[in-house]
Amino acid sequence: MKKTVFILILLLGVLILNAQTTDFYSLTAKTIDGKDFSFEQLRGKRVLIVNVASKCGYTKQYKELQELHEKYGSEKFIMLGFPANNFLKQEPGSDTDILEFCTKTYNVKFQMMSKISVKDNDIHPVYQWLCSKSLNKSADYEVKWNFQKFFVDENGNHAGWAIPKTNPLHEDIIKWAKGEIKTVRLE
């Protein structure tokens, strides 16, 4: 009897653990033009994820992000920009407004996503995964401001972060994009 109870408790624990585990490739989001975007299509690619805003002191980083995309974007490296209005309401526009701003002002060609929340009770599942060790199996991390950068390796593993003020053309980010280093931690 004790052995059966132990096995049932063990199985229950495994089920609970699996229910809390989300694989990076099981995530989904909407593109800025409203299309479904499955992260399964990112399998085998290094992914840089950035929460962006058009009325922030760091907004000029769009220029460097686009340059990074032009120089290193490929089948092995992709960037996703997630507009968010979580910090001093610095991204108040609609997806249409944001896309127009990014295109006209910075000629952004990397993948822009629909506006989401990157913190608090309405945090998007992508950012839940990026910020929660129980999901990403790497580290807990809080989004501190606009233009926070997160790195996910080609196997769907959380591979680090860079604080908002970090220039997207920082040598460690370039090395990571090129596959020369495995993790990035820029505080």
- pTM surpassing 0.85? yes
Residue 91 covered by a domain: yes
Pairing of strands 36-38, 28-30: antiparallel
Is 165 domain-assigned? yes
pLDDT at 21 over 70: no
Residue 7 lies in a domain: no
Residues that are catalytic: 56
CATH number at residue 140: 3.40.30.10
3 domain-assigned: no
Q: Print the domain residue range for 128.
A: 23-186
Question: CA 47 to CA 157: how far, in whole Å?
Answer: 10
Q: Domain total for the chain?
A: 1
At 25-73, the pLDDT tens digits run 999 999 999 999 999 999 999 999 999 999 999 999 999 999 999 999 9
pLDDT the model gives residue 10? 41
> Tokens in use for 6?
């132990």
pLDDT at 18 over 90: no
- As a whole number, the mean pLDDT across the chain is 91
Residue 171 domain-assigned? yes
Give tens-digit pLDDT for 71-107: 999 999 999 999 999 999 999 999 999 999 999 999 9
Tokens of 139: 């580290």
- The model's confidence at residue 3, banded by pLDDT at 50, 70 and 90, is low
CB 158 within 8 A of CB 138: yes
